[in-house]
Structure 1
Amino acid sequence: MTPGRTDGTLDPITLVARDPDLARRRAEQVLGDDCTPTTRSIALRTLGAARRELGDPAGAERLLRQSAAVAARAGDPEHAAQARASRLGLLALRGSGGYAARTLARLSADTASARAMLLTHHGLAAAQHGRFDTAVAGFDAALDALDGDTDRSLLPGVLSNRGLALMYAGSLAESAADLEGALSRASDSGQTALRGVALQNLGCLAVRTGDPARAVACFGEAERLVPAQRLPLVRMDHADALLAAGMHREAARMLGGLGELGAASGRYGGGRATTEAATAGLLQAKVLLARGDTRAARGLARRLRRGFSDDSLWAELARLIEWSARHSAVPAQRSAPPRFTRPSTRRGPANGGAGPGPGAAPPNPRRDDTHRCPPPAGAGSGCADTAEAATALAHCVHSAPLGPVSAMLPSGPEAAALRVIAAGDHRSPRGRLVDPPGGHRPARHLELIVHARAHRREVAAAGARAALRAGDAPAALDWTEFASAPALPAGPCRNGPWLDLLDRCRALHARAHRGDAAARRELPALAETLSTAQWHADCMTAESGGAPSRHEPPAAAALSRNLAGRAFVRYVRVHGTDTAITVVDGRTRLHPLPSAPAVEDAVAKLSYAARTRVLSGDEETSAPDGVAAAARRVDRLLIGPVSETVGDRPLVIAPSPPVQALPWGLLPSLRGREVSVAPSGRAWLAGGGADADPPTGPGRVVLAAGGAPQGAAGEVGALASVYPGAAVLRGAEARVEQVLRAAAGAGVAHLAAHGSASAQTPMLAAVRMEDGPLFAYDIERLSRAPRVTVLSSCWVGGAMPASSGAPLGMAASLLAMGGRVVVAGVLPVSDRTVGSAMLGFHRALRAGTAPARAVADHLAGAGFVCYGTG
């Protein structure tokens, strides 16, 4: 580092923005040699800036004071002013200054570059206190003061901070332009660390705009670029993005990996908290809320608040969590949440996970070849946690150009909608949440779609709860449909690394099935990696179907016009309360249901009893205290409250998460009745509704049999007589790639094979073909799913709810990729008896019988369900 060099090594901003640790080493090297006073001043300033980024603010301030003194003694006012401006910025970031800050400001205003730095720090101080319009004005003034080539190294940092302030001020398009500009300039100038900060800030913007997939991708890349000392801040932003997507368990794991930083959040009370520990504590409180532990969340928020000054942003945010915890625990209260400069609501999911029974394998299933459910080979079955989030925080980290200034603020139209709902108006806010056309492009993975817009789902839950309290059935239905509006993946994922992971997972499953213990041990970690790896750049855009268009008619009216003699039943769970909403003959009604625990317990007992009966080989008998008794209890709890309204009409059912894997055909009131199960009313309408019955001609037919069980090949052979000319895939021809190619766009596809499903990894639900499992993930590789798919396998029909409550799994994937009907089982399937039932079903289907009618006549008693528009 000698005067006259032009590679940026004499520019502390560029050097620190490139790599703070490298900047420290170079500065120390220069200071160890003889050098001019100007070079010494610059080296001290570089070392001070590096120390600030490396977590030593006291040492940084001492070095910056020395830098200013060396330059002043040498008669170099330019570098003295720059050192003072840097020190002033450090004081502002630490929330201190007083007389020293006023003196530094006066002495730093004499040169253009120092004045630009000074104005930048003014903007940062305003942002730190939540005055974002003032912050934008400060950054605008800093940009005006920049002196072209001389100050180009400062430009990316100013743009990055201005972009964050614009985001909080609600100017999202301008924010995106600034942050993209900061990223581009930092990349061009080799400012690696600052490039990481720009990506981090772009991730925060993506959270703000409801694009968690892009946010996670940005944070993942930022983690590879920022210095180690900044990693906790990026990971906290990453955790907040996961919370915004309703993925509270993943967020908790990420926060748990922050070690002492996260632990410090539990020790507030007397002193002042650091920015990083405060952020960690507030996020941990948010996780507690997402888990429904309102008492612990409120207690932690209270301890956090006592550690901050009363007028600080942190205290306001802690008060917001306290308010959210109090009012989510007492739903009937109607006070408005605390107000902020730019409020919004970033909340967790409106619906919880599955109960303890549906979709999970029984404790010790009989593992022979008479059922189409092989022993699990990896992650076991489990139950998603019930999650009800009730807070609104969006955590971001700024740089000046690299100094951390955290400001977690809510913002956006969701907060305004919540305030209107809290004031007693549950009808008008929904129209304010409509996206502009083209505002979001579709994602390529179903999981990305169902995790998007968690904050909107929570607003929808609040609107639905208010409508239910008011007895307004049409509005309650509109809110619940708004929360689950259908959206299609944008098309096949073509990301090579992710597809390689999927193939590796398939190979591990195949090895585990052959008894490889090492493969079995590797599977759980790989399954988690596969799930998180979807958040890659190729598939990181958010879905477009999160809100209906302005001109879309109310859900009740649209359903009434299309039901054609059917009855629609929507089961709703909002904040722990279960309700049924029916649309019958143009009327929409509310039907209170028994307590949620009673429903979950009954459903779990029925599923378990039915599975046990099949696995024991005792399908022909049912003891009074067995399946029949359990089915009567579920019938009484779920069908009884709506029976008078729906009569004996065919049903379209949109289930709540606890009943997404229910064998509906076993219920006494539904035996022999046509039942179609759809994710939502609008999804049923989008699939064609009552007009979606397949024509008599099935079109192209694909029949595929896995290598096991023994009856699969015979079943497919018998069905070939029903469909002359069908493509029949058996043995070596029934490999995953060949089956996918043949099934794409087919009229009817029938797959007979072992099946598996897990509540922990629903998109790894699979039917086992010759070379390994064909996963639900694989369905997303189809350009279009078959019109009608029949899965003659155990378990795979049972949808597993994501933390958002949206269904995931094999049937959900087939419907999302354009399939109209999926017939699949939610119980074990007996290889001895299913063949004749399937033959009867397909003969009826071939003769023109509607799929729901054919299922009711031939398959419902064996635990098969007709999904979609049957």
Structure 2
Amino acid sequence: MSAAEAKARGLHDRGRVALTVGRSAEGIRLFGQALALLGWPDTREPTWRATAARVLISMAAAEVHLGRHEAGFRLLDEAEHAVAPEDRSALRSQRGLLCILTGRLDEALRYLDEAIPLYRMPRDAYDLAADLVNRAMLHSLAGRARLAQQDLVRCEAVAQKANLPLVVAKARLNRGYCETLLGDIPAALRTFDLAKPVFEADATGLLPVLAIDKARALAQAGLADEAASELDEAIRLLSRGRPTYELAEAVLTRAQVAVAQRDPVGARMWARRAERSFLRRGDESRAAIAVLTRLRADLDSRRRLRRIAERAAVLSARLLTLGLAGDAETAALLAARACIRLKDSVKARHHLAQPRSPHPPVETRLLRSLVQAELHGAEGCTTKVFDHARAGLAKLHDHRGRLGSLDLRTGASALGVELAAIGLDTAVRQGRLPVIFDWSERSRAQAFLMRPVRPALEPAESDAVAELRQLAMVVRTAELSGHPDDQARRRCVELERQIRARGWQTDAVGDQERVVSFGDIAAELRGGEELLVSFLPGTDPLCAVAVVNGSGRLVELGDLAMITETIARLQTDLDALCGRRLPTALSTVIESSIEHHLALLSVELVEPLRELLGDRDLVVVPTGPLASVPWGMLDELRGRPITVTPSASSWFRVRQRDTQGDLIDSEPLLVAGPDLEFARAEVNRISAMLPCSAVLTGADATVEATLAAMDNRRIAHFATHGHHEPGNVLFSRLDLADGPLMAFDIAGLERPPQHVVLSSCDTGRSVMRAGDEMLGFTAAFLYGGARTVVAGVARVPDESVVDLMAAYHRLVRLGATPAKALAEASMIAPLIPLVCFGSC
């Protein structure tokens, strides 16, 4: 081999490496230098011509990657005249790849099916592995996820044997995408993590591609906002250079996530941008998917329904011819929904009858159930509405049952919001109270009916948690000194993100409990001592099912928008009154405002229930913002035992189980945190009343000691600063001597305390996700198995709560339920927003 040919081959190898890691422009430059050394196209030497053909094949891929697909196919045509017999498999495979990138999927599959059997020699390992990845991509796009997995498993084995770690990583990246299509989100996220270190070390240009696939998995788990964050960062990185295929793919995925976020304006903007990018590359398949995404956004905003129906029908046929059966099914369902809204049932049924994808993702299966329910609703067939909505939610329950993380379980409810809503709306119109109650329970807090998963922390995760605790103290100290540490704060955010992402990879265990019936609750309340009020999600004016003494009633309450605004104003006033000394005149104004808002809420939420309420205890099942109401402060409810619970089903389950008799250690645990002026006094008052208490104060009140002492307790009382983190509720926290005790930590307790009191700050605040899924510090205890949690839904003034807490524990010791004890003790300080959550 001559020196020129050797150098050309070296340039070719370097160019392929650049292409592999996403640097296409650099690859083209190196390929051009190689061709110049070989004297192409004028060379006549056979070996030089064969080498030039291999360079042309690689260069074609780089051209198409940069959007110049016509140039890419011309290069392949040139290579046809010079390619050696042993390289014809590479030429066929490259034509297959370029057809994938330009949306000619059936043609691509034919080329790859021809190329793959031709590989025989060990030196072919790289090309064989690449073709297997590409054919797997084709199967994935067509919804054939299991065939794709077979190719990827073979690819990984070939690449590992040939010592090609980057190819192994790319196979894993694609395998994660297949696992997403199959609905195994934890497995997909674990697989992505296996690929990531290799990309970080050797192919940073592929990290945005990894982010795109991870975003798809998060979106399928219902975490649309988190998916959007991943994509926004990927788009930022990809936008630094020339427009690429990966950038167009990221933009398209961002449009699809915007649809899930109920952001039609953003979805249309991203979809148009993606469509233009793919059309410039000649990729009709993905351009068609971008059009489908834009039509979905238009339907959500109820714009131009007839046009949507017509375009979606045409698009469905087009997508089917392009080999995209799953997207074709979605388009047909979209056309059917538009026709239903146009009151054209005949055409809607025609679209529903279009061919189905053999293995549709969960989103498509839920959409089909929703469209069928809507069609029967339009035709007045109530029974079939319930059948299809119930069947769709059953599919969602199966999907949720594969998720171990509370974060993912609560997020998954977003996928079924419309199904639950059509069931509930139909039940309300029908007017049968047991059915209304049944659908209200199917519409809320399904994650609380699942067995909690308590995963052991891996070493890397334990290290991240330890670093987070240490840095959280640094951040807190810096804030108190008036000199915030922005670097430490940014690192805390990054660590929280890492820990949270690791939690998403947890597999599920156990089954979901059934939703309880109206009959179950009516029988439980027979005797008339309690009134259960279940506020219905999504009704305006607000409605509630009230159940008492074996019977129930549907009650119409106040205007939801006004109630929501009043709750927000009330919380602002309560927070303003707490934690600082205010001028007397200002305090008077704020207190007057608080009383005004409480009076408004009493009128809107309580007065319509007065006849049923009488002197009974109250059980509240809230919806949305009502989870933040300080119920015991309302004029008509002061001094009345009140329990707030995520759902009637979770309340009933706790009532049915006796968890008190089998606790090993019944001594109360009392914990006083740092930097809270009256914490030690509060704990001392309670411990004097409960002489057998285990007390942790000062330097002894560490996270480790507290977690160890908390497990298997009957009562745990915390007089500590707390911080509700609405943007990342798993890291809401209580301040202890050596750092924060986080909501995240509660999942690790084998036997959480049965009765928890959080007497300071606003640790009773919750984030209510779609489907009334409650997240926060209080929710973490309840989800983990605590029976009752007493906490503040707004900031609690620690100087005023000492006497109240002493009275509370005295009453509990005398046998009062937590709700009754809190109601009586709160008369000492009526402006303290403590609420009893769970089941008393």
CA contact (8 A) 1:584 1:645 kept: yes
Q: 1:168 to 1:461 in 2, by over 3 A?
A: farther
Whichever residue aligns with residue 172 of structure 2, its letter is L
**Residue 197 of structure 2 corresponds to residue 197 of structure 1:** no
**Residue 91 of structure 2 corresponds to residue 83 of structure 1:** yes
Structure 2: 5+ residue runs without aligned partners?
Answer: 39-44, 320-324, 332-358, 378-383
More deviation, 154-163/195-204: 154-163
Q: CA deviation at 1:507?
A: 2.4
CA contact (8 A) 2:628 2:766 kept: yes
Whichever residue aligns with residue 420 of structure 1, its letter is Q
**Residue 246 of structure 2 corresponds to residue 238 of structure 1:** no
Q: SS of 2:409's equivalent?
A: helix
CA contact (8 A) 1:652 1:675 kept: yes
Q: 1:729 to 1:233 in 2, by over 3 A?
A: closer
CA contact (8 A) 1:711 1:832 kept: yes
Aligned-residue sequence identity (percent) comes to: 27
CA distance in 2, matches of 1:801, 1:488: 20
CA contact (8 A) 2:31 2:59 kept: yes
CA contact (8 A) 2:441 2:649 kept: no
Q: Who is 2:821 aligned against?
A: 854
* Aligned with 1:601 (options 560, 565, 568): 565
Q: 1:714 to 1:168 in 2, by over 3 A?
A: same
Whichever residue aligns with residue 342 of structure 1, its letter is G
Whichever residue aligns with residue 733 of structure 2, its letter is A
Q: 1:510 to 1:410 in 2, by over 3 A?
A: closer
**Where in structure 2 are the equivalents of 1:537-616 lying within 5 Å?**
540-541=505-506, 543=508, 548=512, 552=514, 555-563=517-525, 565=528, 566-574=530-538, 578-587=542-551, 589-615=553-579
More deviation, 62-71/653-662: 62-71
CA distance in 2, matches of 1:147, 1:752: 71
Whichever residue aligns with residue 81 of structure 2, its letter is A
Q: 1:732 to 1:280 in 2, by over 3 A?
A: closer
Q: CA deviation at 1:481?
A: 3.7
CA contact (8 A) 1:170 1:412 kept: no
Whichever residue aligns with residue 406 of structure 2, its letter is L
CA contact (8 A) 1:740 1:782 kept: yes
* Aligned with 2:736 (options 769, 774, 777): 769
Q: 1:455 to 1:207 in 2, by over 3 A?
A: farther
**Residue 487 of structure 2 corresponds to residue 511 of structure 1:** no
CA distance in 2, matches of 1:212, 1:236: 14
Q: CA deviation at 1:439?
A: 7.4
**Where in structure 2 are the equivalents of 1:387-466 lying within 5 Å?**
412-423=364-375, 424=377, 425-429=384-388, 430-434=390-394, 445-452=405-412, 454-466=414-426
* Aligned with 1:477 (options 440, 448, 470): 440
Which string of whole-angstrom CA distances, capped at 9 and with x for unpartnered residues, describes residues 328-374 of structure 1?
A: 3459999988667336789xxxxxxxxxxxxxxxxxxxxxxxxxxxx
Count of residue pairs brought into register by the alignment = 758
**Where in structure 2 are the equivalents of 1:319-358 lying within 5 Å?**
319-330=291-302, 341-342=325-326
RMSD between aligned residues: 4.7
CA distance in 2, matches of 1:625, 1:584: 34
**Where in structure 2 are the equivalents of 1:126-165 lying within 5 Å?**
153=126, 156-157=129-130, 159-160=132-133, 163=136
Which string of whole-angstrom CA distances, capped at 9 and with x for unpartnered residues, describes residues 476-504 of structure 1?
A: 32430475553344214413333333333
TM-score by length of 1: 0.74
**Residue 592 of structure 2 corresponds to residue 630 of structure 1:** no
Q: Who is 1:649 aligned against?
A: 616
Which string of whole-angstrom CA distances, capped at 9 and with x for unpartnered residues, describes residues 623-682 of structure 1?
A: 884222211211222334444455543333232232222211111232222222222223
Whichever residue aligns with residue 213 of structure 2, its letter is D
Which string of whole-angstrom CA distances, capped at 9 and with x for unpartnered residues, describes residues 186-244 of structure 1?
A: 44434444434333333333443445455455445545545455554443333333434
CA contact (8 A) 2:720 2:736 kept: yes
Q: SS of 1:721's equivalent?
A: helix
Which string of whole-angstrom CA distances, capped at 9 and with x for unpartnered residues, describes residues 734-786 of structure 1?
A: 11111111111211111112222232232332222222322222223323311
CA distance in 1, matches of 2:284, 2:60: 27
Q: CA deviation at 1:790?
A: 1.1
Whichever residue aligns with residue 391 of structure 2, its letter is G
More deviation, 162-171/484-493: 162-171
Q: CA deviation at 1:279?
A: 3.8
Q: CA deviation at 1:82?
A: 3.9
RCO comparison, higher one (Cα < 8 Å, 6+): 1
More deviation, 659-668/512-521: 512-521
**Where in structure 2 are the equivalents of 1:170-181 lying within 5 Å?**
176=149, 178-181=151-154
* Aligned with 2:485 (options 503, 520, 523): 520
Q: 1:326 to 1:56 in 2, by over 3 A?
A: closer
Q: 1:308 to 1:455 in 2, by over 3 A?
A: same
More deviation, 141-150/588-597: 141-150
Q: 1:219 to 1:825 in 2, by over 3 A?
A: same
Q: SS of 2:212's equivalent?
A: helix
CA contact (8 A) 1:743 1:786 kept: yes
Whichever residue aligns with residue 562 of structure 2, its letter is A
Q: Who is 2:233 aligned against?
A: 257
Q: SS of 1:824's equivalent?
A: strand
Q: 1:293 to 1:454 in 2, by over 3 A?
A: closer
Q: 1:768 to 1:305 in 2, by over 3 A?
A: closer
Q: 1:772 to 1:553 in 2, by over 3 A?
A: closer
CA distance in 2, matches of 1:519, 1:625: 35
Q: SS of 2:805's equivalent?
A: helix
Whichever residue aligns with residue 530 of structure 1, its letter is L
Q: Who is 1:864 aligned against?
A: 834
CA distance in 1, matches of 2:400, 2:263: 33
Q: 1:801 to 1:818 in 2, by over 3 A?
A: same
CA distance in 2, matches of 1:17, 1:441: 41
Q: 1:803 to 1:174 in 2, by over 3 A?
A: same
Structure 1: 5+ residue runs without aligned partners?
Answer: 97-120, 126-134, 265-272, 347-406
Q: CA deviation at 1:729?
A: 1.2
Q: SS of 1:512's equivalent?
A: helix
Q: 1:325 to 1:64 in 2, by over 3 A?
A: closer
Q: SS of 2:678's equivalent?
A: helix
**Where in structure 2 are the equivalents of 1:206-355 lying within 5 Å?**
206-219=179-192, 222=195, 225=198, 227=203, 230-258=206-234, 276=246, 278-295=248-265, 297-298=267-268, 301=271, 312-314=284-286, 317-330=289-302, 341-342=325-326
Structure with greater helix share of residues? 2
CA contact (8 A) 1:841 1:854 kept: yes
Q: SS of 2:669's equivalent?
A: strand
